Amino acid sequence: MEPAEEPPEPKPSDDVEVPPPGPAGPGAGSVPPDRAGERSRYDVMRSSIVDSIRRSRVVRDLSPKRVYAGNRESHAELPALFRQTKALEYLRPLRPRSPGDQGRESRQPRLLQRLEYLLQEKLRLADSIASPYDDPGGAAQQGMSSMRLDAYRQAFEAFIHSFTTYRPLLLRIKAQYDAALEDALQSSQEHVHMKAELAVVEQRRIRTVEEARTSAAQQVSEARKELEHRLLAMEERAAAAEARVRAAESEARAARAEEEIALGEKNDYKEMVNQLRREMIDSSTWAQHLAKFDTDGAADASSDDKKDTNT
């Protein structure tokens, strides 16, 4: 698009207008007749001073229009909005919708209405662009804030370029504010990045804690199962040992009973052997001679005892 034509700059010959000589205040027009000559001399002197001031080169050099025409800072480029075809149509005020609004807007300056319309359009455009990316506190929210700030910046630039006389001063002020604003935006972006990094770190921490909890629960479950398995095995071994002990005790009781029976049978057999031995001895011939020998020996012993008693 071709850039819109800028309004012509003021000519250097345009100087500060000095009000023509006239009455100084209320009642000054009615001059007494005796002082008419003095007043005419005063007017002539004042007009000559005004003429000399108008012809003075110092005054022409200090003229705001000359200062603007000779200052390069005042010839800054207009925003991109003003370089578009029919760009000034965006600065036209909205039509009033009611008689009350019409009366209220008619009292506002035309420049204020245009700047308000420009700001509203830019803000509406920023909202329409950022609405699909609704992410509170994220990068989309920061981008929306930047676009809204750019809308206010463009409105302020339009305001600056509307005042050609004060444009250099306003541009220097704006440059200082822009530098401070850039530092603030950079700090805010760094804060956003840091916040995003902290969010990622927090997510990693939560995920690590969850994984640790899951691993610990799994390990505890496996250890519990292993302990339960070992406990069941030990209980089975203990039950088997108890069964073996009970079987051994029953076998021991049976062995003791058999031993008692065997001892009884032994005693019976021993008694029977002794009885048979006595019967065998009693029925044998040498047992009879032995009995006779025993009786003879007993008689001899008794006779010896009698002899001893007699002596």
SS (H, E, C) 116-148: HHHHHHHHHHHHHHHCCCCCCCCHHHHHHHHHH
Range of the domain at 238: 194-283
Q: What is the pLDDT of residue 51?
A: 67
Q: Do 192 and 152 form a contact (C-beta atoms < 8 A)?
A: no
What sign does the dihedral 130-134-136-138 (CA atoms) show? negative
CA distance 64 to 61: 8
Contacts of 85 (CB under 8 A, 6+ apart): 1, 2, 4
CA distance 156 to 170: 10
In this structure, is residue 146 part of a structural domain? no
Name the domain count of the chain: 1
pTM for this model (two decimals) = 0.32
Q: What is the pLDDT of residue 112?
A: 87
> Two tokens at 214?
């899951």
Q: What is the pLDDT of residue 142?
A: 62
In this structure, is residue 202 part of a structural domain? yes
In this structure, is residue 80 part of a structural domain? no
CA distance 127 to 145: 10
In this structure, is residue 2 part of a structural domain? no
Query: For residue 112, how far is the Cα from the chain centroid?
Result: 44
In this structure, is residue 200 part of a structural domain? yes
Q: What is the pLDDT of residue 147?
A: 81
In this structure, is residue 224 part of a structural domain? yes
Phi, psi of 16 (to 5 degrees): -70, 130
Q: What is the pLDDT of residue 282?
A: 74
- pLDDT tens for each residue of the chain, 311 residues long: 334 444 444 444 333 333 344 444 444 444 455 555 556 666 776 676 666 655 554 444 444 444 445 444 444 444 554 555 555 455 454 454 555 555 555 577 888 888 888 888 888 888 887 665 555 555 556 667 778 888 888 888 888 888 888 888 888 888 888 888 888 878 877 777 788 888 999 999 999 999 999 999 999 999 999 999 999 999 999 999 999 999 999 999 999 999 999 888 888 888 888 888 888 777 777 666 666 776 766 666 666 666 666 66
In this structure, is residue 263 part of a structural domain? yes
Q: What is the pLDDT of residue 76?
A: 44
In this structure, is residue 233 part of a structural domain? yes
CA distance 149 to 181: 10
> Two tokens at 34?
């005796």
> Two tokens at 71?
């200052």
What sign does the dihedral 297-300-306-311 (CA atoms) show? negative
CA distance 77 to 95: 30
Phi, psi of 6 (to 5 degrees): -85, 155
Query: For residue 71, how far is the Cα from the chain centroid?
Result: 52
CA distance 68 to 197: 50
